[in-house]
Amino acid sequence: MSSPRVAVVGGGISGLAAAYRLRTLLGPAAEIVLIEGSRRLGGALRTVELGGVALDVGAEAFLLRRLEAHALVEELGLGGQLTHPTPVAPTVRAGGRTLPLPTRTVLGLPGAAADVAGLLSAQGVARLAAEPTVPLRWDPGQDAAVGMLLRERAGDELVDRLVDPLLGGVYAGRADALGLRATLPAVAAALDQGAGSLLAAADAVLPSRQPAGGGRPTPVFGTLRGGLSVLVDALVAAGAVHPRLGLPVRALARTPHGWRLELGSHRLGPGRPERLDADAVVLAVPAPALRRLLADPLPGASAAAGRVEVASCAVVGLALPLSAAQALPAASGVLVASSESLSVKAFTFSGRKWAHARSEQMLLVRASLGRHGEARVLHRDDAELLEAVRADLAALTGITARPVDSVVARWGGGLPQYAPGHLDAVAALERHVAASAGLALAGAILHGVGLPACIATADAAARRIAGYLTGLNAPAAARGGTMGS
């Protein structure tokens, strides 16, 4: 076929990585149109300059244990800009105390009660230590809410003081509503394979205990000096992507030769929308948009996407006078349990955690707020949100200095909620799409919200589309270019 046209919908990391991978697979002649509903690329990746320093106010780092993000960074020639957190450790605020975050856990679930003993009361430790003696009813393949399962078997303290704050950090969700199989898949698999308790399952998947003095541990996270917008810019350049911004795709339909997209917000009025015909489409949009776009061509897939709820959150960046650093605890940040009656769910002491966020003049601090079902916390204007963050910082550290500069970034519907049964919803979604030629999905709704998982879905989507297009013998879709009718 002559040069194909592929429409990639959504300009977050998933859409950008898919567009880039399509370019490497299809070559320079392919027309790759990236359509983004908002006026900026990056989705949940956004770097701002605060106090003269680059600060990420969306995602700030990627996991290195999975290879996809690191490999992409290297492939794009950005390896020299890769950096890791300083060795300063994080803390957690729970039960009215701020303590070091236990290190040997799977998202807060330890292999032994002793590994989290400092954080729990004596009764809490005893209850957790007895968890392996509670008979476990677990059918291979089943799912359960993480919090519910743990509370039933080991009491409330571990959930409230550690698991919930950690899951809140990753998913902006609550342990009682998130599913074990999607959020702790290795633990669910260990239970499938016969682990007799949650502690035993966690112990089976955790790395073996390091002997003392075993050298500096391998870094778990990486990011880019200059912020993750560097990755966004590199993907646009290397993918030779010509994005169309401010154009939400409002409808998708099959045509005899491919797909037709309608572009432009309904809010712009009843005028006839711009149309774009494409040989193939990658949808890399959050669950609500996916549900709407698939409603007409694939109602079953749309219904499956509709089963995934989303949570909103916000990040507030503060540039404080450097004198504030004297009062800052010797930690990279603090996770906050929801029982602490504070607005924030975490502070990152960015100037401590990242060498590249250190400045001679300012101390950068980043606060995160918002959990699923707690929209109330975010129902404040920016000035009120800033004051709430300052009050919480004062309560936790004693720092009352007025910020020299600040930024509020809101992430409406920013994170999909992996509820029990999430993998079934995704399997149904993918089954419907797999039967639909020239259509592929990517994004955080599918197989993990972290950047490596999103990049993996983008790669798979691009390969599926490239395979389809190169295997196609039919002539290119009959199209007259963008039809601005």
> Judged by CB under 6 A, does residue 239 bind ligand FAD?
no
> Judged by CB under 6 A, does residue 313 bind ligand FAD?
yes
> Judged by CB under 6 A, does residue 35 bind ligand FAD?
yes
Instruction: Give the angle 308-312-315 at the CA atoms, nearest 5°.
Output: 145
Residues 437-466, mask of contacts with ligand FAD (x by CB under 6 A): ------xx----xxx--x------------
Cβ-in-10-Å burial (0-12, 13-18, 19+) of 472 comes to middle
State the amino acid at position 429 in one-letter form.
Answer: L
| The only residue of 6, 7, 12, 239 in contact with ligand FAD, by rule CB under 6 A | 12
- Give the full edge-to-edge strand order of the sheet including 82-83: 62-63, 221-224, 82-83
Nearer to ligand FAD, 320 or 446 (CB): 446
Which range touches ligand FAD (CB under 6 A), out of 152-160, 340-348, 355-363, 407-415? 407-415
> Judged by CB under 6 A, does residue 165 bind ligand FAD?
no
Question: Could you tell me if 370 and 415 are in contact, meaning their C-beta atoms sit under 8 angstroms apart?
Answer: no
Residue 12: DSSP 8-state: B
> Judged by CB under 6 A, does residue 162 bind ligand FAD?
no
Q: What distances in angstroms separate CA 179 from CA 55, 173, 263, one per listed residue?
A: 32, 10, 35
Structure tokens at 421: 């049964």
Site for ligand FAD in 267-296 (CB under 6 A): 284-286, 289
d(C-alpha 113, C-alpha 204), whole Å: 14
Which range touches ligand FAD (CB under 6 A), out of 86-94, 202-210, 336-344, 411-419? 411-419
> Judged by CB under 6 A, does residue 11 bind ligand FAD?
yes
Which range touches ligand FAD (CB under 6 A), out of 5-13, 99-107, 121-129, 207-215? 5-13
Tokens 């003269």 locate to 52
Nearer to ligand FAD, 324 or 461 (CB): 461
Query: In the Cβ-directed half-sphere of 123, how many Cα atoms lie within 13 Å?
Result: 3
Shortest Å distance, C-beta 232 to ligand FAD: 10
Question: Could you tell me if 255 and 437 are in contact, meaning their C-beta atoms sit under 8 angstroms apart?
Answer: no
> Judged by CB under 6 A, does residue 249 bind ligand FAD?
yes
State the amino acid at position 193 in one-letter form.
Answer: Q
**Which residues sit at the interface with ligand FAD, rule CB under 6 A?**
9-15, 35-38, 43-45, 58-62, 248-249, 284-286, 289, 313, 315, 411, 414-415, 443-444, 449-451, 454
